[in-house]
């Protein structure tokens, strides 16, 4: 059986910290409302001199340095995102040039919203054996402030910017990530219209409908990955859930009866960074020694589409 391992991680977040208190000067809200409904205390927003590209580059370089591999060893470079600096060429293409990846590296972006990083890891696991080089560079990156309606207090308090990266390695004797993926076409629930629609190009969300979807999709996805892997939750060292809302995570953890100490998150200081959320959290866990060599993380993302995806990733 062939599969994939996580080799290293990297992260980049903007310098500017925006606290809930800061937001009270822009919209009618309060720290108490935001913390009690979402668990978010602060988030990072891109400022001058920062961009999607600069975040991607910093995160990718860090992951490659941690892995100790050079650009010539990368066979696939995928960026999960919907907020890149250009509509085309994509962020992965920009990385090819800036990182000096070989021209036969498979580089493209994919958009599966907040589930995008898992979609990208899965895609890398299928492309690497075809490409012939063992290493893939996979990123989740968003500058959500580009599509934030700063007058809509029910959404603007939720989102942040950032980029997370991982070097993955394909191996003939490596474990199958046991990926599960799916979607329901429900753009009335969560949507960023795009620049050509005549609508304002900002996040439109029915928060309660997303909430109802997420508290069902997240535990279901965990169960499906475990069933595919043929293991129980005790075989998992860390549960890495998309950091959309602490209440969604708490409900899923309770429903699945997971040990809370295995479900640590970072939403309090990142907010919801969409596709960047899972790799940013993976990087925090790896950096803090909370996800170690040989350990397994069950990752689940869910978001606009509506999409969902889960995978079991082992750290090499
Ligand atoms: N500060 C203060 N009050 C706010 C507010 C804010 N930032 N945003 C909304 N409110 C108000 C509403 O206007 C409403 O007031 P009203 O009762 O006087 O009409 C009240 O709070 C309740 O609004 P509601 O939308 O019902 O709140 P909620 O409990 O559903 O919480 C979310 C809103 C967005 C936090 C919640 O629905 C949520 O987290 N949903 C999931 C969103 C998500 O994760 N999206 C990304 C998926 S990847």
Same domain, yes or no: 131 and 260: no
Residues whose CB is less than 8 angstroms from the CB of residue 78 and which lie 6 or more positions away in sequence, other chains included = 92, 106, 107, 108, 109, 110, 120, 123, 124, 136, 137, 138, 139
Asked if residue 154 has its Cβ within 6 Å of ligand 1, the reply is: yes
- Residue nearest ligand 1's atom 13 by CA: 154
Same domain, yes or no: 157 and 191: no
Per-residue pLDDT, 280: 98
Same domain, yes or no: 106 and 157: yes
Same domain, yes or no: 237 and 159: no
Distance (Å) from CA 154 to ligand 1 centroid: 5
Q: Cα–Cα distance between 278 and 287 in angstroms, integer? A: 14
Please give the positions annotated as active site: 114, 242, 272
Q: Which atom of ligand 1 is nearest to the CA of 113?
A: 48
Same domain, yes or no: 167 and 185: no
Dihedral, CA atoms, 211, 191, 180, 174, nearest 10 degrees? -120
- Residue nearest ligand 1's atom 23 by CA: 154
Same domain, yes or no: 61 and 186: no
Tell me the CATH number at 105.
3.40.47.10
Distance (Å) from CA 37 to ligand 1 centroid: 7
- Segment 152-171 mean pLDDT: 98
Residue 250 predicted with pLDDT over 80: yes
Per-residue pLDDT, 80: 99
Asked if residue 62 has its Cβ within 6 Å of ligand 1, the reply is: no
Distance (Å) from CA 207 to ligand 1 centroid: 6
Per-residue pLDDT, 195: 87
Q: Quick one: pLDDT band at residue 47, thresholds 50, 70, 90?
A: very high
Per-residue pLDDT, 267: 98
Alpha helix segments (H runs only) across the chain:
20-23, 31-38, 52-67, 91-99, 116-131, 153-156, 207-229, 246-256, 267-270, 277-287
Same domain, yes or no: 23 and 159: yes
Same domain, yes or no: 240 and 99: no
Cβ–Cβ under 8 Å, residues 116 and 254: no
When divided into structural domains, the chain yields a total of 2
Asked if residue 36 has its Cβ within 6 Å of ligand 1, the reply is: no
Q: Cα–Cα distance between 61 and 82 in angstroms, integer? A: 21
Of the residues 142, 171, 200, the one at which a domain ends: 171
Residues whose CB is less than 8 angstroms from the CB of residue 196 and which lie 6 or more positions away in sequence, other chains included = none
Average pLDDT, the chain: 97
Per-residue pLDDT, 2: 92
Asked if residue 114 has its Cβ within 6 Å of ligand 1, the reply is: yes
Stated pTM of the model: 0.98
Of the residues 137, 154, 171, the one at which a domain ends: 171
Distance (Å) from CA 230 to ligand 1 centroid: 38
pLDDT digits (tens, 9 = 90+) for 199-216: 999 999 999 999 999 999
Take residue 209 and report the two structure tokens written for it.
């409908």
Same domain, yes or no: 131 and 217: no
Mutate to test the pocket of ligand 1, among 37, 80, 190 (most ligand atoms within 8 A of CB): 37
- Residue nearest ligand 1's atom 1 by CA: 29
- Segment 231-246 mean pLDDT: 98
Strands 238-241 and 296-303: parallel
Q: Quick one: pLDDT band at residue 1, thresholds 50, 70, 90?
A: confident
- Phi, psi values for residue 8, rounded to 5°: -160, 170
Which percentage of the chain shows pLDDT scores above 70? 100
Asked if residue 245 has its Cβ within 6 Å of ligand 1, the reply is: yes
Residues whose CB is less than 8 angstroms from the CB of residue 47 and which lie 6 or more positions away in sequence, other chains included = 14, 15, 16
Of the residues 171, 203, 219, the one at which a domain ends: 171
Domain containing 196 equals 180-314
- Segment 54-61 mean pLDDT: 98
Residues whose CB is less than 8 angstroms from the CB of residue 165 and which lie 6 or more positions away in sequence, other chains included = 9, 10, 11, 56, 59, 60, 62, 63, 137, 138, 139, 279, 283
Q: Quick one: pLDDT band at residue 283, thresholds 50, 70, 90?
A: very high
Helix or strand (DSSP H, E) at 301: strand 296-303
């Amino acid at each position: 059986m062939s599969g994939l391992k996580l080799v290293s991680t990297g992260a980049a977040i903007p310098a500017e910290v925006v606290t809930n208190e800061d937001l009270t000067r822009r919209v009618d809200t309060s720290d108490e409302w935001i913390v009690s409904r979402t668990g978010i205390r602060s988030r990072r927003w891109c400022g001058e001199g920062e961009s999607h590209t600069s975040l991607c580059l910093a995160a990718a370089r860090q992951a490659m340095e941690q892995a100790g591999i050079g650009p010539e060893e990368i066979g696939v470079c995928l960026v999960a995102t919907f907020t890149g600096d250009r509509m085309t060429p994509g962020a992965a293409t920009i990385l090819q040039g800036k990182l000096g990846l070989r021209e036969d590296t498979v580089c493209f972006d994919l958009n599966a919203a907040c589930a995008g990083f898992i979609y990208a890891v899965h895609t890398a696991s299928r492309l690497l054996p075809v490409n012939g080089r063992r290493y893939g560079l996979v990123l989740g990156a968003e500058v959500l402030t580009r599509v934030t309606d700063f007058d809509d207090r029910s959404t603007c308090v939720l989102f942040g910017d950032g980029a997370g990266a991982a070097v993955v390695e394909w191996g003939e004797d490596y474990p199958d990530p046991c990926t599960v993926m799916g979607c329901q076409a429900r753009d009335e629930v969560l949507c960023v219209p795009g620049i050509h629609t005549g609508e304002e190009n900002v996040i439109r969300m029915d928060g309660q409908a997303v909430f109802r979807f997420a508290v069902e999709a997240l535990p279901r996805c965990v169960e499906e990955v475990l069933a595919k892997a043929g293991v129980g939750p005790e075989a998992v060292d860390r549960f890495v859930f998309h950091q959309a809302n602490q209440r969604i995570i708490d409900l899923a953890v309770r429903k699945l009866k997971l040990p809370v100490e295995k479900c640590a998150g970072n939403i309090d200081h990142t907010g919801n960074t969409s596709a960047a959320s899972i790799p940013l959290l993976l990087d925090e866990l790896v950096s803090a020694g909370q996800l170690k060599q040989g350990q397994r993380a069950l990752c689940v993302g869910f978001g606009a589409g509506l999409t969902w995806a889960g995978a079991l990733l082992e750290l090499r």
